[in-house]
Amino acid sequence: MTPTPRARTLVILPTFNERQNLGRVVERTLRALPSTHILVVDDDSPDGTGIFAETLAASDERVHVLHRSGKLGLGAAYITGFAWGLERGYDWLIEMDADGSHPPEALPRMLEAASASDSVGLVIGSRWVSGGSVEDWPKGRELLSRVANTYARIMLGLSVRDATAGYRVYRAAVLAGFDFASVDSKGYCFQIDLTLRTLDAGFAIAEVPIHFREREFGVSKMSRAIVIEALLKVTGWSFTRRVRRNPSETALPLGNA
């Protein structure tokens, strides 16, 4: 089952210094999914990415650009893009990196999985399910990703194999129900946060295997602060969710302290 011709998709590409990658990513995305629209959310890139994005938009009505005043974080960029897309009535809102690591050619398969059932609220392009893979990634980064996802699964009781993945198709109705004012995750734990919110809203999550390839140009935005943020937030969410599930068990020791 594929999305109906009336279904409207929006691919959101947050950018910061992605001038060398953006043109190729936009070209591949429109080739893979000609009916889609693309929204570039640029954080005032010093390398001129935002200006270059405007030239792409001027030559193709499917490309749109939003400019932000500085480097305000990945999560905030996606929230801005979600709001823009929801206001304009798109049916599917897609997260995708602008560095070329997420293969646009997987979009048709991901949309097919998203439209297979009304219960599916999110489809993740997954590196860590059967058939998924990574290429040219430093062993340290691969280990970090595997450990982070294992930790999230254990602490939060998730069955999702790649909760930190940033390649995603969301049903618009799912995002419309989120309270984004309460989201303060900035790094990849933003993805874990929205994974939890999707499940808590009663929607199913599907994972489609992808081949993830390390960027060819530019540098990764990963930092120690992003890793620490994720560790602290996942631990905090785990405690909060256990308190909600077992209020009497948690309250008893505190009362006897």
> What pLDDT is attached to residue 249?
33
Tens of pLDDT along 164-197? 999 999 999 999 999 999 998 777 789 999 999 9
> What pLDDT is attached to residue 252?
27
Average pLDDT over residues 138-145: 86
For residue 94, list its beta bridge partners. Answer: 11, 169
Residue 138 pLDDT more than 70? yes
Average pLDDT over residues 144-160: 91
Residue 257 pLDDT more than 50? no
For residue 133, list its beta bridge partners. Answer: 211
Question: Taking Cα atoms as reference points, which of 136, 144, 120 lies closest to residue 207?
Answer: 120
CA distance 108 to 96: 14
What's the whole-number average pLDDT of the chain?
87
Question: Taking Cα atoms as reference points, which of 58, 29, 61, 54 lies closest to residue 40?
Answer: 54
CA distance 100 to 202: 32
Question: Taking Cα atoms as reference points, which of 187, 174, 192 lies closest to residue 235?
Answer: 192
Average pLDDT over residues 65-80: 94
Average pLDDT over residues 191-217: 92
Q: Which of 3-12, 182-191, 243-252 has the lowest mean pLDDT?
A: 243-252
User: Quick one: pLDDT band at residue 5, thresholds 50, 70, 90?
Assistant: very low
> What pLDDT is attached to residue 232?
79
**Higher confidence at residue 145 or residue 218?**
145
150: left (phi over 0), alpha (psi -120 to 50) or beta: alpha
CB 101 within 8 A of CB 215: yes
Average pLDDT over residues 115-135: 96
Query: Tokens 């020791």 correspond to what residue?
Result: 253
Range picked from 186-190, 211-215, 216-220 for highest mean pLDDT: 211-215
Question: Taking Cα atoms as reference points, which of 151, 153, 173 lies closest to residue 161?
Answer: 153
Question: Taking Cα atoms as reference points, which of 92, 154, 103, 100 lies closest to residue 127?
Answer: 103
Q: Is residue 86 exposed (0-12), middle (13-18) or buried (19+ Cβ within 10 Å)?
A: middle
